[in-house]
Structure 1
Amino acid sequence: MAPDSAIDASVLDRLFDVVTSRRDTDPAISHSARLLSRGTRKIAQKFGEEAVECLIEAVAGRSHEMIGESADVLYHLIVMWVDAGVTPAEVWAELARREGTSGIEEKASRVPVKS
């Protein structure tokens, strides 16, 4: 895609649709299907590995590499959403709810989760 092309966050919605459509695909031919077939723990582990790789690039000041790792993080986050039955619309709604609220206020307003 050309650098001057209009790009927006709807690419994440499209990626979600692709991952969802691959859920029942043969794991031998789809990376998304393979991840989903391995279960929540493996999906979460892979997300964590990608997040750490992104952090390493950020700390090292390697912006170009951080861009690629960020894309990996977003992909693996979407795989986790599909696995958990969470939709992008739910996440976007939560972000919209928080918009305009300071992070300190938002965090203080959360009800503690009891285990």
Structure 2
Amino acid sequence: VVNSAGGFVFAVSDESRVRRFIILGTAGGTYYSTEQELTVKNVEALIKIIEKGRGSMILKEIYEVSLAGRNPKQDPLLMALALCARHMIAGMMFVVRPQKRPNQVKVTL
């Protein structure tokens, strides 16, 4: 795969790309791409993953990263969550819900 510098690199899996974006975001950019260009490319990749029908994988990654506290900033995670909400992936949330724990409280609206 050709990178933004014109060199050749290994292709990254969808899971790895989602995990990288949620954890690291796109702070600072690179020598060849601005931060805004990298963010747009990552959001486009997330949309393609959702269109492939793999939105539940994104929700699973969001849940696991958030629960473990592995992301230093919340902005990329919230961006991915907003994309899932925008594309109505919320109906698949049952896939990633954990088993009830004794200390969990059920909230009904």
Same fold (TM over 0.5): no
Larger radius of gyration: 1
Higher relative contact order, chain-length normalized (CA < 8 Å, sep 6+): 2
- TM-score normalised to structure 1 length: 0.29
Higher helix content, 1 or 2: 1
| TM-score normalised per structure 2 | 0.30
